[in-house]
Chains A and B, each alone.
Chain A
């Protein structure tokens, strides 16, 4: 069975500092990974997908199959980045398995 682990429940950083959210997965197949974000009082929305290798809102994430990781990074955090972040893995049947989530707090 697939599993997604986000070891940090809370990350607190100062504005302008780098931020890295860790995500590790276990899956026997070829993984498709996503990062979702939920801002205060807003719905869950897609931030990044590994397959498109894009940078959104300054965030990037690289799939490392050797380390089974898909960490999310941003070199200079902004206050508007404060939110809940979920790493998710797509398995057979298009089902998503979510990690436990990491709350990011960017302090001024």
Chain B
């Protein structure tokens, strides 16, 4: 398994501002992912964070709104830009360790509330 931490654990922000969420892993991993979990909803994949290249975004998510950085194999950031109350969610990062089972391990999540 992997030890995954996220900062901040929670935040309350004003609309129109931006928040950057950090994800740190205790080992080098090739694949990192960012998910969103809106209140009462399931997890939805935002993007795959690729080291050394641009992130790959899922349908409905764009780089201008959710810019992602992946400077090395243990770290990634997700920025939620120009926030609105609809962005209030839990944001989670996950990693794929590349084992034979291809399972993903998840961080504790960042609970974001936009007023």
Contact = CB atoms under 8 A, between A and B. Distances in A.
B43 interface: yes
B101 A52 contact: yes
What bracket does the count of chain A residues touching chain B fall in?
A: 20 to 34
A44 B102 contact: no
Which residue, of A32, A34, A43, has the highest number of chain B Cβ atoms within 10 A?
Answer: A43
Chain B at the A interface: SS class: strand
B45 A95 contact: yes
Given A100-B42, A101-B42, A43 B104 contact: no
Interface string B81-110: 000000000001010100001111111110
A86 B42 contact: yes
B33 A90 contact: no
Interface of A: 32, 34, 36, 43-46, 49, 51-52, 86, 90, 93-101
